[in-house]
Amino acid sequence: MAGFIGSPPMNMALGRVERQGDDLWVRLGLAPLRLHPAVVAERPAPASYVGREVAAGIRSEDMEDARLVRDAPEETRRQAC
């Protein structure tokens, strides 16, 4: 339902939940997306999916290319390439 409810519609992609230290990530192909710690604290269920494939929903207005963000740390810019 998340793919067609809302405006604009949500983009869906298959990914895998991973843990790196205390952080949770969703890996979409070669792109790792870190789940913000405040979100994980508020919604702890994703931690039970570590190592499993999930459907991730991302709205286009919530994405940006780190290579184009002037204040992005250099490490983040390299990871985005």
The domain that contains 71 carries what CATH number? 2.40.50
Q: Is residue 5 assigned to a domain?
A: no
Task: Check residue 63 and give its pLDDT.
Answer: 74
40, burial (CB in 10 Å: exposed 0-12, middle 13-18, buried 19+)? middle
- pLDDT at residue 76, as a whole number: 54
Domain membership of residue 3 (yes or no) is no
Q: Is residue 48 part of a domain?
A: yes
Q: Looking at residue 51, what is its pLDDT?
A: 96
Mean pLDDT by 10 residues, the chain (81 residues): 60 93 91 89 92 89 72 56 42
Domain count for the chain, please give it.
1
pLDDT at 80: 46
Strand order across the beta sheet in which 31-34 lies: 31-34, 23-28, 11-20, 53-58
- Could you tell me the residue range of the domain that residue 73 belongs to? 11-80
Q: What is the pLDDT of residue 1?
A: 45
pLDDT of residue 14: 94
Surface-to-core class of residue 70, CB atoms within 10 Å of its CB (0-12 exposed, 13-18 middle, 19+ buried): exposed
